[in-house]
Structure 1
Amino acid sequence: MDKKHHYFLLSNDIAAENADTKSMAIKGREKFQKQGFNTFILTRNYNPSLHQNMDNYHLNDEQVINMYDYIQSTTHVNKEPNYLRFSSLFDKHKYKINGIDNNHSMIEYHGKNVAKVNFMPLTYGEMGIVSYYDNFNHITSRDFYDYRGFKSKTEYLHMDGKVGHELYYNLDGQVVLEINHMNIDGTVYPTMYQLTKFNGTRHRFRTENEMFAFIMDDICDNYKGSVVMNDCKELNEAVDLVKNTNLKFKY
């Protein structure tokens, strides 16, 4: 192994587990780093609590790269708590906040519930998911807030409550990724992933792994002498598609 290389250990996610229960990627990074190798954890899944979970394992932004963070240009963002009580999302002169419990509050307008705010796990009143209701009390859309305090994504729902369309934002609120869902044989699946203006160009993918491979190629271009290492079978397809790496390993 060459210490001039950059080693990327792949993982689906960094889950909210007990800090004593470390994933193979976390353990691997620690071992590689102790031997003097430049090592990063590269995760695929969208997780608005990712950086909260990273804190549990004492990981920082220099050690972990997430695909959605990379797409949204939010890999290095300081946390600024977004408390519902102090948020400008709802005009307090028009809307009433009804605290239900430590997990969520309802937003009322003229005596009618128009939204539900679920708080970020393990926080006190920080916005996590805001669900919006129509006149028939059906949820029509949901806004997801990142643990660090910004709105990260919006889901638009079908009448049956299943996701139809997703929008992902950068810090300026511009859409940088769209995901379309379609009903196939009675089951709704994501069928198109579209980067709206990645490096000035629009890109479309059929699967999340195809997009992950594309992002890994872009990352490897920025870290010369890249080595990709994977022990998650769900990510093998993405590893097979990666081109801009010196070496790649699957276990």
Structure 2
Amino acid sequence: MYYFLNQYIKALNSSVEHAEFHRLALFKHERLNAKIVTRDFDPMEKLNAASFGLTQDDILNMYDYFQGTVSVEEKQTSTKGLHIPISYQVKNDSNVSKAYQGGRLAQAIHHTPGRVGEIASVDHYDEFGNIANRELWDSRGFHSASQFLDFDGAPHAEILYRLDGTRALERSWEITDDRKGRVIFNIHLINYKGNDFYFNSEEELFTFFLDEINRQSKEENTFIADRPGVADTSLVNMTTKAKKYLFFPILHAANPEDLTNSPLEPSYEETFKHLDKLDGLITMTDNQARQLRIRLKRRKGKGRNIPITSIPGVAFSSKELKAPRIPMNTRLGNKVLYVGRLGADKGIDNLIRAFVLVVPQVPDAVLDIRGFGTPDYVHSLEQLVNQLNLGYSVKISGYTPDIGPVYDSAKVFAGAAHQDAFPLAMAEATAHGLPLIAFDTNFGPSDIIDDGTNGYLLTPGDLYQYAQDIISLLTDDTKLQRMSNNSYDTAKNYEYKTIWKKWRTALDIKPKRKVSTK
């Protein structure tokens, strides 16, 4: 079994999750047993995963495992199953239904997004109008947990149930020393294989869980840690024997200008103390692999000679690569597309500033920004758009799970990140024939963009040339189509058979024997 270790699958996902989605599809195509393993408790996880085409069998969640709910028959829920006292007055609504006892709010019933009338959670109020406790329902239709809340509405204790209603786990929180948050300080695993176990953190429980699933198989399992600072620490703390690899979705160094000498990115510091417990490191570009080799050769002790392999984070099936190519003259408008996380390191503010120079030359040009970020950062981008009077030309459209049609409607893909381990969306854009524009930064753009062939690779910070290259593409139909054709061709670099060869080498996967038909 191949396990890809992560923290969660959300409604809004980062490139870490999207790289796993690509990898899972590739491994399934090769008929290998593989799963995405998640740590966090989230009753909505399976519903979120389904929007990306994943099934229950594709995911193994730690809490599902201990609750005995890894794979269950999905059922519909409704307020009728809550056994609300007949004396309560219920006011139904599509998002939140409310139950009143006399004039007092007694319960707030939150419905599952996109599922009319189904139950996500129920808040119970005390006589003073405070939420005393909250009941959580899994999106698959069963009562999953009870939370007991403090005055600020945050949980201080929680019970997680098995399907038969018995307690599977109990969790307790405490306020952090700076009093700005809460952390889990105790987890009680109840009657697991006839015994009770206690853990001081989710990290400890995750390590225990990984060892448990590893013991299930007599064959050697392979674990790949994808989420920095979460999956990797528990991986190196495993006590059972398995093949273990660390995947790099981000830069390994804190300073992108000095990747061999600057301090490690904090989430990797602990893991790098235990490289001798790993079988290999996997980056997404040759350049990052080279920088890691230089750094490790300078260190003393174990781990300095650990194998390092580079494998791109995307993989396209033959069906995707053989899909009809969409000519540029059939794509309406002049849309320039950005897809990715919205954060300061992604340079989206520079995209917006460059667009000030584009609009006077191409009045119908639109910059479509797709992705998610913190509310404060997104608000700062909206303010910048307003300050530059680009309200009609720049659209911040949010995160879009089904992004394929959006790629197909655009004419140019724009990236401006200050640093990146591998611009996943940029590689995805090649499969939709988008010419690419980006700054030549660490890492990835230079791996994907052949300057002047399938796009433009620019000196970091040169916003004038950035704008001019967008203008030249949007005003020269012949050039635009030529680069689109070349971009489609670039996608062939990431076809299944090419990427699979790299994975097979990195993980030392032996070819399956062909069964004789004689």
TM-score where L is the length of structure 1: 0.90
Unaligned runs of 5+ in 2: 248-518
Q: How many residues align?
A: 242
Query: C-alpha displacement at 1:83, in angstroms?
Result: 0.9
- Give the match's secondary structure for 1:58: coil
Unaligned runs of 5+ in 1: 1-5
Q: Which has the larger radius of gyration?
A: 2
The answer to whether the 8 Å contact 1:7/1:227 transfers is yes
User: What does the per-residue CA deviation read over 1:41-83, in whole Å, with 9 as the maximum and x for residues that have no partner?
Assistant: 1111111111212222222222211111101000111111111
Does 2:21 align with 1:26? yes
**Structure ranking higher in strand proportion:** 1
User: What does the per-residue CA deviation read over 1:77-128, in whole Å, with 9 as the maximum and x for residues that have no partner?
Assistant: 11111111x224313x2222112x4210111112321111111111101111
**Structure ranking higher in helix proportion:** 2
The answer to whether the 8 Å contact 1:226/1:246 transfers is yes
- Give the match's secondary structure for 1:148: coil
Query: C-alpha displacement at 1:17, in angstroms?
Result: 4.0
Does 2:140 align with 1:144? no
- Give the match's secondary structure for 1:62: helix
**Which amino acid letter does the alignment assign opposite residue 68 of structure 1?**
Y
User: What does the per-residue CA deviation read over 1:110-155, in whole Å, with 9 as the maximum and x for residues that have no partner?
Assistant: 2321111111111101111101111100011111100011110111
Match of 1:237 in 2: 233
2:72 & 2:138 partners in 1: Cα distance?
10
- Give the match's secondary structure for 1:46: coil
**Which amino acid letter does the alignment assign opposite residue 104 of structure 1?**
V
- Give the match's secondary structure for 2:57: coil
Does 2:121 align with 1:129? yes
1:22 & 1:71 partners in 2: Cα distance?
23
Q: Which of 47, 55, 61 does residue 50 from structure 2 map onto?
A: 55
The answer to whether the 8 Å contact 1:228/1:245 transfers is no
- Written as runs of structure 1 = structure 2, the 5 A alignment for 1:57-72 is 57-72=52-67
Query: C-alpha displacement at 1:15, in angstroms?
Result: 1.7
Does 2:31 align with 1:36? yes
TM-score where L is the length of structure 2: 0.45
Does 2:3 align with 1:11? no
Query: C-alpha displacement at 1:27, in angstroms?
Result: 1.2
Does 2:72 align with 1:77? yes
Match of 2:280 in 1: none
User: What does the per-residue CA deviation read over 1:7-38, in whole Å, with 9 as the maximum and x for residues that have no partner?
Assistant: 101121122148xx962222111112222322
**Which amino acid letter does the alignment assign opposite residue 23 of structure 2?**
G
The 4+ residue runs of structure 1 with deviation greater than 6 A are: none
Taking only aligned residues, the RMSD between alpha carbons, in angstroms, comes to 1.9
1:207 & 1:133 partners in 2: Cα distance?
30
Which gives a bigger RCO, structure 1 or 2 (Cα 8 Å, sep 6+)? 1
Match of 1:104 in 2: 96
Match of 1:194 in 2: 188
1:10 & 1:127 partners in 2: Cα distance?
29
